[in-house]
A and B are shown apart, each in its own frame.
Chain A
Amino acid sequence: MQFSGLYSIFQYDFHRVNIMKRRNSFFFYVVFFVLAQFAWMGLLGLWIYWYVSNYLIFEQVEDKLSPQIIIDSPNVFIFVGGIILIIAIAFWMSVIFKNLSLHIKIARLHDSFIANITHELKSPLSSIQLYLETLTKRNVEPEVQKKFLQIMVKDTNRLNNLISSILEISKYEQKRSLFDFHVYDADETLKQILNETAEHFNLTGESFSVEGELNSKYKADLTTLRILFNNLTDNAVKYSTGKVEIKVQLIQQKKKIIIHFKDSGIGISPAHQKKIFNKFHRIYGKNIPSVKGTGLGLFYAREIIKKHDGTISVTSAGEEKGSLFKIEIPVYSSSRKRFIKELIRSKEKENNKTTHQSEQYDG
Chain B
Amino acid sequence: MTDKQKILVVEDEEALAFGIEFNLMQEGYSVTIAKDGKEAVELINANTFDLFILDIMLPYLDGFEIAQYIREKDPQIPILILTARTKKEDKIKGLEIGVDDYLTKPFHLEELLLRIQGMLKRKSWYREILTENPEYKFGKNTLNFSTFECSHGNRQFRMTTQEAITMKYFIENKGKIITRKELLENVWKINPDVETRTVDNFIVRLRKLFENDPSEPVYIKSIRSAGYMFSEDKN
Using a CB–CB cutoff of 8 Å, the interface residues on chain A facing chain B are: 1-4, 6-7, 10-11, 14, 18, 115, 118-119, 122-127, 129-131, 133-134, 137-138, 144, 148, 151, 154-155, 286-292
Residues in B with CB closer than 8 Å to A151 are 15, 18-19
Cβ of A10 and Cβ of B108 under 8 Å apart? no
Give min CB distance, A309 to chain B, whole Å: 37
A133 with B110: CB separation less than 8 A: yes
Nearest to B62 among chain A residues (CB) is: A291
Interface residues of B (CB under 8 A from A): 12-13, 15-16, 18-20, 22-23, 26, 36, 57-61, 64, 68, 71-72, 84-86, 89, 93, 96-97, 105-110, 148, 156-158, 160
Residue of A nearest to B68 (CB): A7
The chain A residue with its CB closest to the CB of B12 is A291
CB distance from B196 to the nearest CB of A (A): 18
Query: Assuming the A-B contacts A6-B158, A6-B160, A290-B59, are A122 and B20 also in contact, with contact meaning beta carbons closer than 8 angstroms in the complex?
Result: no
Q: Which residue of B lies closest to A158 (CB)?
A: B15
A123 engages B13 (CB within 8 Å):
yes
Q: Evaluate contact between A291 and B105: CB separation under 8 angstroms.
A: no
Could you tell me the distance between the alpha carbons of A138 and B23 in the complex, rounded to whole angstroms? Answer: 9
From the candidates B13, B84, B85, B97, name the one contacting A7 in the complex (CB within 8 A): B97
Report the bound CA distance from A198 to B182 in whole Å: 57
**Residues A10 and B15 in contact, CB atoms below 8 Å apart:** no
Q: Is the CB of B59 within 8 A of A127?
A: no
Task: Pick from B26, B59, B85, B93: contact of A119, CB below 8 A.
Answer: B85
Q: Are B72 and A4 in contact (CB under 8 A)?
A: yes
Give the docked Cα–Cα distance between A134 and B21 (Å). Answer: 11
Min distance, Cβ B215 to any Cβ of chain A, angstroms: 19
* Residues from chain A with Cβ under 8 Å of B96 in the complex: 10, 14
* Complex alpha-carbon distance, A264 and B16, angstroms: 27
Do the beta carbons of A126 and B85 come within 8 Å of each other? Answer: no
- Knowing A7-B71, A291-B58, A291-B59 are in contact, say whether A127-B12 is a contact too (CB < 8 A): no
Q: Are B156 and A2 in contact (CB under 8 A)?
A: yes
Does A292 lie within 8 Å of B12, measured CB to CB?
A: yes
Question: How long is the Cα–Cα vector from A288 to B57 in the complex, in angstroms?
Answer: 12
Within 8 Å CB of B12, what residues of A?
290-292
Q: Is the CB of B158 within 8 A of A122?
A: no
Whether B160 and A127, one on each chain, are in contact in the complex, defined by CB atoms closer than 8 angstroms, is: no
Q: Which residue of B lies closest to A286 (CB)?
A: B60
